[in-house]
Each structure stands twice: as C-alpha cells, then as structure tokens.
Amino acid sequence: MNYRAIRAIYLFEMARTWRTLLQSIVSPVVSTSLYFVVFGAAIGSRITEVEGVSYGTFIVPGLVMLSVLTQSIANASFGIYFPKFAGTIYEILSAPISYLEIVIGYVGAAATKSIILGLIILATAGLFVPLHIQHPIWMLTFLVLTAVTFSLFGFIIGIWADGFEKLQMIPMLVVTPLTFLGGSFYSVNMLPSGWRTITLFNPVVYLISGFRWSFFEIADVNVAVSFGMTIGFLVICMVIVAWIFRTGYRLKN
C-alpha cells in the first residue's frame, strides 16, 4: 500500500476545503440552521411532538443527514471531476499508485469533510434544542458509513459526468428530493398506509431512520434493516467503482 500517495491526495483535497472554508463549511451550516429555525418554528408550533420527542429535536438527525448526503456527493464528485476537466487525471493514472489508493485518497477526504460538517451541525443544533444521544457509537457508525457510501456515490458521478451540468443533475434532481421525502422532517409512520409503502422504496428512509434511532431509540424501520441497507448500498458503490477502473470507463478516453 502506497501510503505516501494516499496521504498526498488526501491532504491536497483537504487543503482545498480550508481554502474555500466559507463555501465548504460555513455556508452548509448556515443553510441547515435556517432549515432548523424555519421548520422548527413554523411546523413546530403546530406539531409539538413526534412519537414522544419534541418536533425541534426530532428533525435534528434528518438535518444532519441532509447535509452529510449532499456534501459527501458534492465533495467527492467535484474532487475527481476537476482533474478530468483539467487533464491532470492522466498524471494520477500513470503514477505508481493503484486504483484502490486513488479511491481511498479522494473518498477518504470527501468523507472526512462531511463527517466534520455533520458534527459541526450537530453541535450547532445543540444550541437550539436539548440533545441526548442514546447510542453515540451507533450514531458515529451510521454517520461514517453514510459519509463513505455517498462519497463513493459522488465519486461515481464525478467519473460519469462529462460537464458541470451533469455534475449537478443527479444531486439536485434525485438525491435532494429523495432526502426531503425520506423522513427528514417527519416520521414515515405519519403517512397513510399506501404512501408509507411507497416511501419504503426510498433508500434514504433507511439511512435517516437508523441515524434517528441512535438518538431517540425510535425508528420508522428496524435498525438492523437500516444498517443492512446502508452496507448494501456501500457494497454496490464499491462494485461500480471497481468496474470503472477495471474497464477505464470515461477515464481512458
């Protein structure tokens, strides 16, 4: 394992975050705080509790997941797309570094940024509402797994995209709607039975449900199912990334 190469890619990507601190960290935190204030004040005045938890507290895991999902995809997709756009990807591909090490460097940096952002948002939410995490180890497990999984997904999008428009298309038109409809601001159990069945086809439901369970021990689906779905999506992304490097899809032409 070429740890020096992994470290070089990782530190380069992390340095880009510190150079764009306002965009990478401050902007998502402010946006999430506005979500929290608006939804907590407007809807919280009408829905005081959800399954025994105050509404303002209930939406915190959903808001953290919303930011982690979107930022993981954005960081990883742009991180690998820009070398393609600038033509420097060929220098990386011709260097004495394996495909696994390239993925670890880029995905590891993107996941690290998202985890840091998620923890900052969690700390910020604690200023608005009282928070008590029932299972901190499971909370960190779901946070790390989600960040790594969607960083891999963003890496795939960055390889697939051949323009900045496509780079934004999947996150804006697919991931964000799925996140909003995945129980970020409500419990799936509040929906009519027909809509609840349809919602369970949304993979984001399982991520948010498992993450919320680690806080309040309440979940829309069984926590074991949530964990299994997260691992399953991670494995699918790993298989696709392996296929991309094995075939050279949109890398060698």
pLDDT score for 224: 93
What is the pLDDT at residue 149?
A: 95
**CA quadruple 102, 104, 108, 110: dihedral positive or negative?**
positive
DSSP of 114-181? HHHHHHHHHHHHTTTS----S-HHHHHHHHHHHHHHHHHHHHHHHHH-SSHHHHHHHIIIIIHHHHHT
Tokens found for residue 177: 């709607």
| The pLDDT of residue 162 | 83
- In this structure, the number of other CB atoms found within 10 A of the CB of residue 78 comes to 20
Q: Which among 31, 86, 107 has a CA at the least distance from the CA of 63?
A: 31
pLDDT given at position 45: 62
Instruction: Count the neighbouring beta carbons within 10 Å of the beta carbon of residue 170.
Output: 18
In the chain, DSSP finds a helix count (H) and a strand count (E) of 13, 2
Show pLDDT as tens, one digit a residue, over the chain (253 residues).
Answer: 788 888 988 998 888 777 777 766 777 778 777 777 777 666 666 677 777 888 888 888 988 998 899 889 989 999 899 888 887 888 888 888 888 999 999 999 999 999 998 998 888 888 878 888 999 999 999 999 999 999 999 999 999 988 888 888 888 888 888 888 888 888 888 888 888 888 888 989 999 999 999 999 998 899 999 999 999 999 999 999 999 988 888 776 5
H helix or E strand, kind and range, residue 49: strand 49-50
pTM: 0.90
DSSP state letter for 188? G
Q: What pLDDT sits at residue 41?
A: 65
- For residue 71, the SS3 value is helix
Contact 209, 183 (CB under 8 A): yes
Extract the tokens encoding 194. Answer: 């027909």
- Give the DSSP letter of residue 53: E
User: Nearest Cα to 66, choosing from 140, 1, 122?
Assistant: 122
